[in-house]
A = this chain, B = another copy of it.
Amino acid sequence: MVVVMSPGAPPEHLAAVVARIEQAGAKAFVSRGLDRTIVGVIGEGSRVAELTLAGMPGVATVLRVSEPYKLVNRQACTERSVVWVGSAGREVPVGPGTFTLIAGPCAVESAAQTLGAARLAAGAGATLLRGGAYKPRTFPGVFQGLGKDALRILADVRDATGLYVVTEVIDPADVELVASYADMLQVGAANMQNYALLDSVGRQGKPVLLKRGLQASVDEWLMAAEYVAQRGNCEIVLCERGIRTFETATSATLDLASIPLVQRLSHLPVIVDPTHAAGRRDLIVPLARAAIAAGADGLLIDVHPDPENALVDGPQALAGAELRELASAVRQLPPVLGRRPA
């Protein structure tokens, strides 16, 4: 950490800053310049000191020089991690060296629709099935998800197809229930800083799929993962799904630089959801190809047996020709980049 003093800050302000640093158990190195004095802060206590130095008189700025996350930091574990999903002995890996396709319907609408989507997903190379049970929306009288019934359908479809189940949890009170049916719990973008939910998924044993918030920097996303890891659950897969920018031609702007960046900063696997970033079917396959080429460890894709009649997000679900194109990209590109199917 570096403390930059204001131009003309009097010696007593500098002395107070140094005193507080030392009080927190860290060491202070002072460099006096022509118009600015800077103080290097080194040591364990620096994190605590950081929280209170910024407001002291004479302090212009406090600059962080190391990452605030530790458990999910790449330095904690120089090898990139693999997260294993599913039953012992038959787990599906998500991580370096492999490529994992997670696909399924945005929302579980019925047993038949979910089974149909799962078969399409499996046919395209998926080993994990996604499907939403909780779909809170504002329009009165509109489909809001099947809740517990959806969880049962997903479990049945897993039995029928062998695809493990990834599903979103929204209420901390539902975490135990969802974890009793699903193989991986998804935290959605809108909940990336919902600490009650992060706490709850961090205290159960199933792997977590943590989507990046629409407004979250890469650092904040890793801090959310750190929060989950601190509660005891390090089985976290990150999912880039686009950030909000001024461009309205797509639902969100997919930030593919975050893939190599996260892989340098953290040991956690990271996948990409091009479906919700694009928000329109015709851009999904090119973005999926780009995600694979950027080095993603997997993809999360909406598929639906009958997108025209989907109750949620039909315009962005793949089927037919586009799904065949996706399947071909998933077969063809990862091997060129040194990955085998998971």
Contact = CB atoms under 8 A, between A and B. Distances in A.
Contacts of A312: 51
Interface of A is mostly: mixed
A299 interface: no
Contact of A195 (B136, B223, B246): B136
A116 interface: no
A65 B7 CA distance: 10
Nearest to A59: B315
B254 A257 contact: yes
Interface in A239-256: 243-250, 253-256
Number of copies: 4
Contacts of A191: 193-194
A161 interface: no
A138 B68 contact: yes
Contacts of A227: 136, 138
A57 B308 CA distance: 8
Q: Interface range on chain A: under 10, 10 to 19, 20 to 34, or 35 or more?
A: 35 or more
A56 B317 CA distance: 12
B171 A196 contact: yes
A319 to B, nearest CB: 10
B40 A31 contact: yes
Interface string A210-252: 0001110111000100110010000000000001111111100
A249 B257 contact: yes
Contact of A246 (B47, B66, B246, B287): B246
Nearest to A28: B31
A48 interface: yes
Given A295-B286, A336-B332, A253 B257 contact: yes
A333 interface: yes
Contact of A293 (B32, B197, B289): B289
A230 B217 CA distance: 33
Contact of A140 (B29, B56, B136, B230): B230
A139 to B, nearest CB: 6
Contacts of A40: 2, 29, 31, 33, 38, 40
A337 B285 CA distance: 12
A215 B218 contact: no
Nearest to A219: B249
A43 interface: yes
A43 B42 CA distance: 23
Contact of A287 (B141, B213, B257): B257
Contacts of A35: 66, 75
Contacts of A140: 230
Contact of A190 (B42, B65, B193, B257): B193
Given A2-B40, A215-B215, A257-B283, 17 more contacts: A2-B4, A7-B66, A33-B40, A33-B42, A36-B42, A38-B40, A63-B63, A136-B195, A173-B196, A215-B244, A218-B249, A248-B248, A253-B253, A289-B337, A293-B294, A332-B336, A333-B336
- Give the top 9 A-B pairs by smallest Cβ distance, nearest first: A31-B40, A215-B215, A55-B315, A171-B196, A293-B293, A29-B31, A136-B195, A33-B42, A190-B193
10 contacts: A2-B63, A7-B66, A48-B142, A55-B310, A136-B196, A136-B227, A217-B246, A218-B247, A250-B257, A293-B294
